Amino acid sequence: MYLEHAQDVLGQWLAWRKAGAVALVVVTATEGGAVRAPGALMAVSTTGESCGYVSGGCIDTDVAHHARQALRSGRFECLRYGNGSSFIDLPLPCGGAIEVCVLPDAEAGVLRACHDRLAARQPVTLTLLPSGDLGLGHMAVTNALSFQYTPRLRLRIAGRGADSLALARLAMASDIETELQLCDSVETQSAQRLGVDQITQLTVPSTLPAMGDDPWTAFLLAFHDVGWEEPLLAQALTGPAFYIGAVGSKTTHARRCETLRASGIAESQIGRIRGPVGLIPSMREASMLAVSILAEIVEAYQCKVRSPFASR
């Protein structure tokens, strides 16, 4: 599978670095329409292997070529494509411009620390100093390269039926870490056949498994069962999940909220629950509902990414 999140690209860089030099490519600026944002990463090994991408395929091959040259010369390089570029044979269809820096010998300790912090589900600022820390000698660069990265989106689904399975399948196809909480052994077997490897068995509503949500976790309640709704939502509301949603109609959601009020849950907390869920109302097929819900979750995640240190 292609790699695009910083944690994954850095992980591959570190793995290749054990066998030899690896170039790190960083998108430093864009103008106009651009597929990737500043901070997007690409790694290129001495054998020509690459992971990550910096465009929609317009320039990636050429960037990888320059990265291999940089590995041979040991020289830091800045490249510009599109408007104002010397590469007139590589125009960008979007009409904008992309600037990238090629680092032939990035500091492994710095990249490892960034990777490990993301793996620990913590946001991080990666700062690279090409003039000194990267050993570029006379290729001095006065400005540091600094970018913020946030942990990958994680999804926890508690429920039963086709809605839960369809959403889990779609999320996993999108390379989203997904935990599925089920109370039916038959559905557990179905989930296993779909390739879901994080399945937590729910036994009774009064005894829920420990919750591992963090600020980069989305939680979806997909039970059409009143007995499970209150304890699962009450538990989720005690955590920092950036998204809490529950399937059901407007009437169902109003009744659900009233039950939570009666149990003493604060109105400000109840307001965190999204319902009915999904960007498109009244989806009647589990597969289409899954697309609608995941789109809403991704939208909420992007808002979180833009303000990573804001309170929930």
Residues 123-146 have pLDDT tens digits of: 999 998 764 433 333 333 456 889
Same structural domain, 53 and 142: yes
Q: Is residue 312 part of a domain?
A: no
Whether 131 and 224 share a structural domain = no
Predicted confidence at residue 290, as pLDDT, reads 97
Q: Among residues 31, 304, 118, which one has the least CA distance to residue 126? A: 118
Residue 233 within a domain: yes
Q: Containing domain of residue 253, as a range?
A: 154-306
Q: How far is CA 162 from CA 93, 169, 287, in A?
A: 41, 10, 8
What pLDDT shows up at residue 88? 63
Q: Where among 122, 149, 176 does a domain terminate?
A: 149
pLDDT score at 35: 82
Residue 133 lies in a domain: yes
Domain shared by 90 and 138, yes or no: yes
Same domain for 135 and 194?
no
Question: Is 232 part of a structural domain of the chain?
Answer: yes
Whether residues 28 and 131 fall in one domain: yes
Q: Which residue has the tokens 């559905």?
A: 187
Domain final residue, candidates 98, 129, 149: 149
Whether residue 168 lies inside any domain: the answer is yes
Same domain, 278 and 179: yes
Which pLDDT does position 98 carry in this prediction? Answer: 87
What's the pLDDT score for residue 156? Answer: 98
Q: Do residues 157 and 247 make contact, with C-beta atoms less than 8 angstroms apart?
A: no
Nearest Cα to 216, choosing from 112, 310, 287? 310
Specify if 311 maps to a domain: no
Alpha carbons 111 and 119: distance in angstroms, whole number = 12
How many structural domains comprise the chain? 2
Whether 183 and 203 map to the same domain: the answer is yes
The pLDDT score that the predictor gives to residue 134 is: 39
User: For residues 7 and 24, is the Cβ–Cβ distance under 8 A?
Assistant: no
**Quick one: 130 and 166 in the same domain?**
no
Evaluate whether residue 1 is within a structural domain.
no
Residues 274, 219 within the same domain: yes
pLDDT, tens digit, 9 for 90 and up, residues 33-74: 778 999 999 999 998 899 999 988 888 899 999 999 999 999
pLDDT at res. 90: 65
Report the C-alpha gap between 31 and 301 in whole angstroms: 24
181 is a domain residue: yes
| Separation of alpha carbons 74 and 78, rounded Å | 13
* Residues 163 and 196 placed together within one structural domain of the fold: yes
Q: What is the DSSP letter of 177?
A: E
pLDDT for the residue 310: 59
Instruction: Give pLDDT < 50 ranges for the chain.
Output: 131-141, 312
Q: What is the pLDDT of residue 224?
A: 84
| Same domain, residue pair 232 and 170 | yes
Full-prediction pTM beyond 0.75? yes
Residue where a domain terminates, one of 126, 149, 172:
149
- Let me know whether 300 and 180 are in one domain: yes
Q: What percent of the chain has pLDDT over 70?
A: 90
